[in-house]
Amino acid sequence: MTDAPAEPEVLVEREGRALRLILNRPRQINALTLGMIHRIEAALDAAVDDDTVQVVILAGAGDRGLCAGGDITMNVRGEYDKLRRFWATEYDLIRKISAYPKPFVSLMDGITMGGGIGLSAHSAYRIVTERTRIAMPEVRIGFFPDVGGTLILGTAPGHVGTHLALTAGDCTAGDAIYVGFASHFVPSGRLPDLVTALASGDESTADTVARFAEPPPEATLAAEHAWIDAAYDAEDVEQILANLDARPEAKAHEAAATIRAMAPTGVVMARAALLESARLGDLDKVLRLELHIGHSFIGTWDFIEGVRAQIIDKDRNPQWRPATVAEVDRAQIAEVIATAGI
């Protein structure tokens, strides 16, 4: 007997007028590999001049989520050149998706994190459901939000983006739309019918999505914007922590404790990157900035230690160097931003 051939990591399917791209690593919550990125890019390139393709639909296999992110264990294994290639190729795909000339619909059902946000949150139609959990948790692993995330978070209403970036907080459907990760809410039970309608209907993609969309659940972050905006209205993280400590709200104190548990260098870099990305205001420039910043983290203690503690050993007890926000070299952070040359 011979083993059955493994299924492709991305299923590329045609359904009526739709090109369907299904991330197909359900046991890993469809975590991205370099091969998956190449396969998606090739499928999109082939569909550009195919007049029978009128809409692209991105989804994840299984019932856990669209995509849990990319394989950053390459950094722990010392595969630095491979990691650089992965990021560069991933960012090029994000650019392609954001500017794709045909309607691109992303089904952000379930867990959508890191690289999953990169593939979906810059597309034309970004669908969330009651099962959606969106997060940029990079400061938890000794890194900073990337894949264009600093632009979304840096231009979110008030300072909610900074709050999410520094606490590695997550969003449900209402918050995802409020922050800017998503555009429409469709209950998960209606997604199969939405796909069928997109693939077979005669109306435009915009009209089809609007027909299936429902008012999103309440955005809890919108209800809490007053204390968030007041506390995070500072450029330096030390001042933000002092502001949080001084607030009367219990959630502000919880946020301060959470930030202090994150990677200090990642937190300080995240704040600086959000400010710079908001100033740039352009996805291509922001991706160039993030790639430059990402290279500065390759091989660092915190990035290796964070991945070890949170993903590999799962002991959830990373030992950061430096150990506190106060000890982070601000001049070094500023130099990384300045030398991006953007």
Which domain CATH number covers 75?
A: 3.90.226.10
Predicted confidence at residue 231, as pLDDT, reads 98
Least confident span in 75-84, 181-190, 274-283:
75-84
| Dihedral of alpha carbons 296, 168, 161, 116, sign | positive
Dihedral pair phi/psi, residue 298, rounded to 5°? -60, 130
Q: What is the mean pLDDT of residues 66-90?
A: 94
The tokens of 310 are what? 């949170």
Coil, helix or strand for 28?
Answer: helix
pLDDT digits (tens, 9 = 90+) for 11-55: 999 999 999 999 999 999 999 999 999 999 999 999 999 999 999
The angle that helices 264-280 and 160-167 make with each other, rounded to 10 degrees, is 150
Residues in the chain: 342
Confidence of residue 4 (pLDDT cuts 50, 70, 90): low
CB 263 within 8 A of CB 139: yes
Mean of the per-residue pLDDT values for the chain? 96
Active site amino acids: 70, 115, 138, 146
Total domains in the fold of the chain: 1
DSSP assignment letter at 77: T
Print the domain residue range for 279: 1-342
* pTM given for the model: 0.96
H helices, E strands: number in the chain: 17, 10
Q: Which residue do the tokens 């978070």 mark?
A: 153
Whole-angstrom Cα distance, residue 113 to residue 31?
A: 9
161-171 burial: b if 16+ Cβ within 10 Å, else e:
bbbbbbbbbbb
Looking at the predicted structure, is the pLDDT value of residue 1 above 60?
Answer: no
Helix ranges (H only) for the chain are 34-47, 73-76, 80-98, 115-120, 149-154, 160-167, 173-179, 191-200, 205-212, 220-223, 225-231, 237-246, 250-261, 264-280, 283-297, 301-307, 330-338
